[in-house]
Structure 1
């Protein structure tokens, strides 16, 4: 079996958009994705915008359930140095959180 020659390795970097457009088709070619068609050339001229993405209100999680009064009390306690830091309770909570993440639902 003949040896496979890979060539010189290049450093990882961002993709050059001009190369990506040129690789997608010939000069002035049209690539169709769904209902929208994008026209481009190797020089990057004449790129047409696709349709806007519509989002559903059903997927909106809403506001986070934060008790701002409790946050303010804890913040003042931390600033004044009166907030109780108990390493064993912190460790127990971290272990419990790990167990909850690993358990099947």
Structure 2
């Protein structure tokens, strides 16, 4: 298990820009949990309604996507990410978003 608190700033910045490997997966998991309340607040503030489309650049591991699309019915989600590791992680989620690199 990766202790993110012990990462030096350069390594942290590298993985925030393009998560890879065990560090990237740990960082993406941490960010998905820590940032969920921001996603939820933004979604509600924007007034996203049933049937609308969401496009996200940099979805990370996409672990927030099922929660996000669960806030309103019929949401059509599309996302892209620069990190091949994050695209692979996202494809492993049971409710798969349309994810591509």
Q: TM-score range by the shorter chain?
A: under 0.3
Instruction: Please give the TM-score of this superposition, normalised by the length of structure 1.
Output: 0.21
Higher strand share: 2
Q: Radius of gyration: which is bigger?
A: 1
Higher helix share: 2
Q: TM-score, normalised by structure 2?
A: 0.22
